[in-house]
Amino acid sequence: MSLNSSNLEGPANLLAIVVDIPPHLMLLECGPHHYLNSVLAFANLHLGASVNRKLCIVAATHTTTEFLYPPLYPDDQRVRQKDGRLEQLQCLDECVEKRLKELMLHQHNPVNGQANGCSSAAQPPDSLLSGAMGRALLFLRRHIGSSKAASNTARMLVLKVAGESVGQYLNYINVYLTAQKLGVPVDVCCLMTDCGLLQQGADITGGYYHKLTEPQSLLQTLVVLFSLGSWGGGSGKGGRSGGVVALPPPDTVDYRAACFCHRALVNMANVCSNCLSVYCKTVPLCSTCNVFFPIEMPMKRPAKKRR
């Protein structure tokens, strides 16, 4: 399969990769090394295809979100060429490796103790994926506004390990509406299990959602389904019109909302008229905006007058 050279030498292409690094990443079938190496190889493919392409990688753990690339300090960009490699790709590898080590050391710091730890008996905490997506949107917005090219292709790719982050429902919706306003499609690749909230975001923003049942083929999936050269950077929904790969049709989107009281997906619920918070049962006070809900009492029938 050959790619059109116009796709590689066109206007600036912006890509923001959001990587989920949960505490149970070690239990992944393919292993954390294969997972992270596949992401890094895909990032090298994106940058190496054209000098006009820009990239950022944001990692999300259960305690913090961090930029893995680009470097935070100018000194980290000064990399000498080794083995005939491009300096930009070598800078990418070294910067991501350095930031990942610092992130892992922070997660397992014994000084933080229970703050960064996770009990094996309790349910693993959710990663701050919505916060990482918000930081990625800031990167894309800054580069879209500073670029002179009117036909920029900006998109976001979210890699999610098994788990449903219903506790961040409102944050996800804010990110999706912002991405839709900026015209940034959100592509999602979930490993092992589906994530209804991320599926909603891909449908709202015009991105593509894919559940990967075999994590060993992560790199092949990223290259074929989510590479800019695969779909040509067109102007259709998700920017995929005129591409060289016919993507599978999307599944039915689960648009159930998550209640704020039990963090569960519900079909019918009560909605606050002030902040649109969702509750699966009647509550006297909104926990988000502290609005009091008057409870309607049954009307009393007037007493009949005696004749």
| Domain assignment present for 251 | no
Q: What is the CA radius of gyration of the chain?
A: 23
**What pLDDT sits at residue 121?**
44
Please tell me whether residues 55 and 180 are part of one structural domain: yes
pLDDT < 50 regions, the chain: 1-10, 110-115, 117-121, 149-151, 231-242
**What pLDDT sits at residue 162?**
72
Please tell me whether residues 274 and 149 are part of one structural domain: no
| Domain assignment present for 246 | no
Please tell me whether residues 32 and 160 are part of one structural domain: yes
Helix residue ranges per DSSP H, 14-86: 32-49
Please tell me whether residues 177 and 37 are part of one structural domain: yes
Last residue of a domain, one of 179, 208, 239: 239
**What pLDDT sits at residue 12?**
58
Helices and strands per DSSP (H, E), number in the chain: 8, 10
| Domain assignment present for 162 | yes
| Domain assignment present for 38 | yes
Alpha carbon of 152 to those of 13, 69, 233: distances in Å?
A: 6, 20, 9
What domain range is 69 assigned to?
5-239
| Domain assignment present for 77 | yes
Please tell me whether residues 119 and 62 are part of one structural domain: yes
| Domain assignment present for 247 | no
Please tell me whether residues 228 and 263 are part of one structural domain: no
Helix (H) or strand (E) holding 156: strand 153-160
| Domain assignment present for 248 | no
Last residue of a domain, one of 193, 213, 239: 239
Per-residue pLDDT tens for 123-180?
567 889 999 999 999 999 998 876 654 446 899 999 998 777 777 888 898 999 999 9
Please tell me whether residues 168 and 28 are part of one structural domain: yes
